[in-house]
Amino acid sequence: MLTVGEIRSKLVSLGLSQEEANNIKGKTTLMEKLSEMELKEASGLLEENSKNPIIDFSAVEPEIESDTNVDTNVSYDDPPLPNSPEGHDYVMTKFVEDELNQGKYPTVDGLRRVAELLLGEIVESTVHTLQVPNKENYCRATVQHTVIFETYEGKRKVFSDVSDVFRYNTPAEFANHATATASSKAEGRALRKALRLRKIISAEEAMKSEVDASEVQSLLQDWDSDAIASDSQIIALDRICSRANIDVLKYINSGAQEYDSEKEVPFAVMRQMISNAHKYLEENDNHEKVNPVPNRFEGYKSDWRQNYEEV
């Protein structure tokens, strides 16, 4: 990792005077200026002028198309605090155009670059596979990604998050590599958490499945419809209902068929129950629930299995 003196030397070599470099305070601010100047040099926008090395960088900021949602031309005299209302918008100005899918969704590569620019070096990035694709989980992969930073202040900070990928929530070309795609999504979520980006999701998270209702039904028929619900299915339904605050017993018995035990539910029916319940966890870009839980299902009870006979 570069020292403050080394950063100032690089700034001088890129065109700043020694006095200007010395007047930039704080290692984070110095790294931002260095990254900015290196980017301009790589783009052919930084021109040497021995008589006047002072360059107006406001004239060569990357331009974003008019139909994008992120204004990268906003300037800040002093970086706002990460947890301030302006923190999110400040971080978004650090992305370049090709790091924003559809002009607003930051890619994982972009999140990684900006995170190292603002926070410090990523010294460790690890993946923990929580669930591998198999028949019982509809070829779903669930992955946890952990990122460890060594900050400019010499501290270590750890950020972690999870994501799952399967055919019904991800485009086919990415769902075919479910574990790798889930890892990218989870890394994006961890980096968003590190940067405290509250108003946007990553480009990888924004990908939606193109499977329509008829295709889902066709795909479901490929599974064994004679088997009863598996333990992993029941655990999965319990976790989803817990997160969505759904009464499991009321939900299981809300259809035409009532069951005396969760073990009586057919495998294919339980799979559909899980798929339907998962919709109550979906959120839009503002982290608002897309499908509110109906009142008749509300109220998760952790002891629902012990009390099944009460239904």
pTM surpassing 0.85?
A: no
pLDDT given at position 218: 52
Burial of 151 (0-12, 13-18, 19+ CB in 10 A): middle
Output phi, psi for 158, to 5 deg.
-115, 135
Give the tokens for residue 26.
Answer: 């704080």
Residue tagged 């029916």 (tokens): 269
Q: And the tokens for 294? A: 């109906």
CA-derived radius of gyration, the chain: 25
Residue 105 pairs in a beta bridge with: 101
Could you give the CA distance from residue 37 to residue 15 in angstroms, rounded to a whole number?
9
Most distant CA atoms of the chain, gap in Å: 87
Domain positions in the chain are: 1-60, 69-208, 223-310
Spatial distance between the Cα atoms of 287 and 183, rounded to a whole number of angstroms: 21
Alpha-helix runs per DSSP H in the chain: 4-13, 18-23, 27-42, 87-92, 108-118, 172-175, 178-195, 213-220, 231-244, 248-252, 267-278
pLDDT tens, the chain, 311 aa long = 567 777 777 777 778 888 888 888 777 777 777 777 766 665 553 344 333 333 232 333 333 333 445 554 545 556 777 677 788 889 999 999 999 988 889 999 999 999 999 999 999 999 999 888 876 677 788 999 999 999 988 899 999 999 988 877 888 778 888 899 999 999 999 999 999 988 788 888 877 766 555 555 555 555 555 577 878 888 888 999 998 899 999 999 888 888 888 888 888 788 888 888 888 888 877 777 888 889 898 999 988 887 655 54
Which burial class, exposed, middle or buried, applies to 237 when counting CB atoms under 10 A from its CB (0-12, 13-18, 19+)?
Answer: buried
**Do the strands 105-106 and 100-101 form a parallel or antiparallel pair, or are they unpaired?**
antiparallel
Neighbours of 91 (CB within 10 A): 23
Pair of tokens at residue 63:
């331009």
Structure confidence at residue 162 (pLDDT): 92
